[in-house]
Amino acid sequence: MPAPLWNRCGLLFVGLLGVGVVVWANATAQAKQDKPPAKRVVQQHPRVAPRPLAMPRRFGPQQNLGRRLGPNNQQPGNGVANVRPPLGPQMRNPAAAGALSRLPNGALSRGPNGAALGLQPRQAMMPPGLRPGLGRVPNMGRPFSGLQRGQLRSGPFGGNGNGRFGSLANRSRGGNGAPLGTRLIDMRIMPLPPGTGLPPVGEARFRSNELVLQFGGDRTPQDVAALARRFGLTIAAQQTIGALRRTVYTFRINNGQPVADVIRQIDGAGVNASAQPNYTYGLTQLASTGRGTDHDNVAERGDATQYVIAKLHLGAAHRITKGDDVVVALIDSRVDTKQPDFAGQIVDTYDAGCGANAPPDPHGTGMAGAIASHSGLVGVAPDAKILAICAFGGSSATPQATSANIIRGVDYAIEHGAKIINMSFAGPQDPALAQELQVAREKGILVVAAAGNAGATSPPLYPGADPNVIAVTATDEHDRLFSGANQGSYVAVAAPGVNVLVPAPEGGVQVTTGTSVATAHVSGVAALLMAEEPSRTPEDIRAILVDTAKHLGTEGVNPQFGAGLVNPLKALRSPPEIVSETSAPAAPPAPAAPAPASR
């Protein structure tokens, strides 16, 4: 075939092939448009659980800064848009770090919520794990808080049973600077208390000329003295607190400035410290009615007007145990150690700040008797031992204590073998005290505190509303709620607390009312449970008290009575194997031999 003909045939073939390709491509494109897209299948490692991505996680004020807060590391509602420091123990994004370094020093720390971020001007360009002049110090940054200055949330920080932070109710760990699932006592460096330290708006229950200060990291006496001069302060007291692993200072303000202003100055100066007011607390007891010193009308098994004996079935309970040698620390006013009702039961005394000249007081003496009376009156745990810690003193008719006093008292109790700490008082929320209470719980010490006597409309009172304690309300002889008792979700149980007969100083007796004496009764019941099975943890004790309580009020656990009236006899008869991640199962106790009637 001639060459021109071959050429024409080749060109025709190529042209037809091109037309076919174009037609096929158009048909394929049309088919894709008409067909719905196939679902994407994501292969997942069998050991990796799925994680929802639709909603960013929200964190409370105590969440450790090393944990992510969600998309762009932002906390909803904190008032700072698009700019947040890189979080965690290391810089996660060098580019972000470079951007931050170009911001003015005050851009982050001095904004509307700069204090809530826990950043100081000199710290705004470094992650929370770094401190000026100290290098990298893990967990020394203050936990992030989305709250306004001075505000502390009553849920994760102060409410009982919140599921996001450690508490007696949920048996979990974390909070007060420790990440969720971590104990404070296991952290290599104790973090500073969370929050800014400023008192909430309207809070006035603190010393107007004093300040409590803790430093993060080591400080020489010269450093502390220089800081005091810089801010117009004088050291009024200082004490090393073992549970917090640091020295707690009480400073006196010399220049007349308000406490909040001094805290802001320290906060703004970039000092690696936690400053807060020296809060004040009051005893939760109404005026007592004395009955004199004559014990002739007191029968061997207790005064006939001691309705608590029958109400709590103490006669039968004491045939099982009387709380043998369980040490109960009583942080209160001065106890009359010569009171015959609990002679021999005071194992130690300690002055945590009430003063050497403070006389024996009806409140402290009455609470000690409600727990351990055994001569004239009958206490709930007559063979328990009392560690009498005097923190409430002063010249006024109503003794008061400060944050510094109570922290010293709790620390002494921890270091001297207390298994239970009784706190029959109430007041404001204190971040340093909250850490101390969490450490006590983590060391296996049960803290029992009064719900308060401020009435149904009162906000939560502390330490009763702290998640690491058992809060107790008061009932009368007919199981009616004490009219002055605080109410709220933090109330765990109730106990007799209206017109209760207890010892008084100088060998007398008195009738008292309030959540104070109800708290002492629950501490006594806890001592019975610990004497019966020493391996029980604070979580175990709370679970037993709640599960065996006599239900009162509206259906279920309620803000008036909590789980209900404590029932020592039923609690002692409950199985000793309590489900706890920290306590080993205990063998069933041997049957108790009949014992003589209570003294």
Q: Is 363 a catalytic residue?
A: yes
CA gap 578, 72 in Å, rounded? 44
Torsion, CA 139, CA 144, CA 150, CA 156, rounded to 10: -90
Token pair in block for residue 537:
């943890």
Q: Pick the closest to residue 472 from 541, 383, 404 (CA basis).
A: 541
Torsion, CA 77, CA 79, CA 83, CA 86, rounded to 10: -60
Q: Please spell the DSSP secondary structure of 289-302, one letter per residue.
A: EE--S--TT-BTTB
| Residue 3 covered by a domain | no
**Which one-letter DSSP state was computed for residue 588?**
P
CA gap 327, 384 in Å, rounded? 6
Q: Across the strands, what pairs with 211?
A: 251, 277
Chain mean position to CA 142: 16
Q: Is 304 exposed, middle or buried (0-12, 13-18, 19+ CB in 10 A)?
A: exposed
| Residue tagged active-site, from 516, 523, 583, 598 | 516
Q: In the chain, what is the greatest distance between 2 CA atoms, to the nearest angstrom?
A: 145
| Residue 30 covered by a domain | no
Q: What's the confidence (pLDDT) of residue 18? A: 72
| Residue tagged active-site, from 363, 375, 403, 411 | 363
| Residue 159 covered by a domain | no
| Residue tagged active-site, from 332, 336, 361, 383 | 332
- The whole-chain average pLDDT of the chain stands at 77
Q: Pick the closest to residue 567 from 460, 495, 489 (CA basis).
A: 495
Q: What's the confidence (pLDDT) of residue 13? A: 74
| Residue 80 covered by a domain | no
Taking only the tens place, the pLDDT of each residue in 574-594 is 765 444 444 333 344 444 333
Q: What is the pTM of this model?
A: 0.71
The answer to whether the CB of 567 falls within 8 A of the CB of 549 is yes
Q: What's the confidence (pLDDT) of residue 93? A: 38
Q: Is 516 a catalytic residue?
A: yes
Contacts (Cβ under 8 Å, ≥6 apart) of 409 = 329, 331, 350, 352, 353, 389, 391
Q: Across the strands, what pairs with 525?
A: none
Low-confidence ranges of the chain (pLDDT < 50): 39-164, 292-302, 577-599
| CATH number of the domain to which 458 belongs | 3.40.50.200
CA gap 287, 126 in Å, rounded? 55
SS3 of 476, please?
coil
Q: Is 329 exposed, middle or buried (0-12, 13-18, 19+ CB in 10 A)?
A: buried
Q: What's the confidence (pLDDT) of residue 195? A: 86
Taking only the tens place, the pLDDT of each residue in 401-428 is 999 999 999 999 999 999 999 999 999 9
Q: Is 34 a catalytic residue?
A: no
| Residue 430 covered by a domain | yes
The HSE-up count of residue 516 (CA atoms within 13 Å, CB side) is 33
Neighbours of 586 (CB within 10 A): 16
Q: What's the confidence (pLDDT) of residue 230? A: 95
CA gap 173, 582 in Å, rounded? 11
**Which one-letter DSSP state was computed for residue 103?**
S
Residues in the chain: 599
| Residue 394 covered by a domain | yes
Quick one: the chain helix, strand, coil %, rounded to 5?
A: 25, 20, 55
Q: Pick the closest to residue 495 from 545, 454, 453 (CA basis).
A: 545
Strand order across the 500-503 sheet: 289-290, 509-512, 500-503
Token pair in block for residue 207:
């010393």
| Residue 99 covered by a domain | no
Boundaries of domain holding 291: 283-572
5 phi and psi angles, rounded to 5 deg: -65, -40
Q: What's the confidence (pLDDT) of residue 28? A: 66
| Residue 557 covered by a domain | yes
Torsion, CA 196, CA 202, CA 203, CA 204, rounded to 10: 130
Give the total number of structural domains in the chain: 1
3-state SS of 557-569 is CECCCECCECCHH
